[in-house]
Amino acid sequence: MRDAVISCCAIVLVVGAFDDITTDDASHFTVEYCALVLSAMWFAYIAVRLTRLGYRTLGILSFVSLAAGAWGQSRLDRNIVPSRSVPYLITVVAISWFVALSTSLLYLGSRGLMHRRRR
């Protein structure tokens, strides 16, 4: 359950940072990029943990989403409006994956399944 709660907090940070980077006029985004890096490190840890617990598909999809989101975010310019550009869409899909994953972790944590399943 702890992992699910931290993941949900990380999602809030990611969405806030993504919004600030894409819509703000600030000259630098140090805090936002730090939040993105910390969240990426957390989700990489979660991906490793899922893989080790036997949820290999979730772990691999998390790594792919993490890499895709990092690529997409690195290609975005500031002051862009939500668009159909490939980097923007890839970043949104990656964030959506982690929202779904966090929801799944809440479900698994509430049922105690994360600690029971081992292969």
Q: Averaged over 4-16, what is the pLDDT?
A: 89
Say yes or no to pLDDT of 21 above 60.
yes
Decide: 43 and 62 in contact? Cβ < 8 Å.
yes
Q: What is the mean pLDDT of the chain?
A: 83
Residue 75 to residues 5, 8, 25, Cα–Cα distance (Å): 29, 25, 17
Question: What are the residue boundaries of the structural domains of the chain, listed by start?
Answer: 2-116
User: What single string gives the DSSP state of each residue in 29-61?
Assistant: -HHHHHHHHHHHHHHHHHHHHHHHTT-HHHHHH
Predicted structure pTM score: 0.79
Tell me which DSSP letter residue 80 carries.
P
| Separation between Cα atoms, residue 108 and residue 117, nearest integer Å | 10
pLDDT in tens, 97-109: 999 988 888 887 7
Give the model's confidence band at 77: pLDDT under 50 very low, under 70 low, under 90 confident, else very high: low
Instruction: Average the pLDDT over each of 3-7, 43-47, 66-70 and give the range with the smallest value.
Output: 3-7
pLDDT in tens, 107-117: 877 666 555 55
| Separation between Cα atoms, residue 79 and residue 81, nearest integer Å | 7
Say yes or no to pLDDT of 31 above 80.
yes
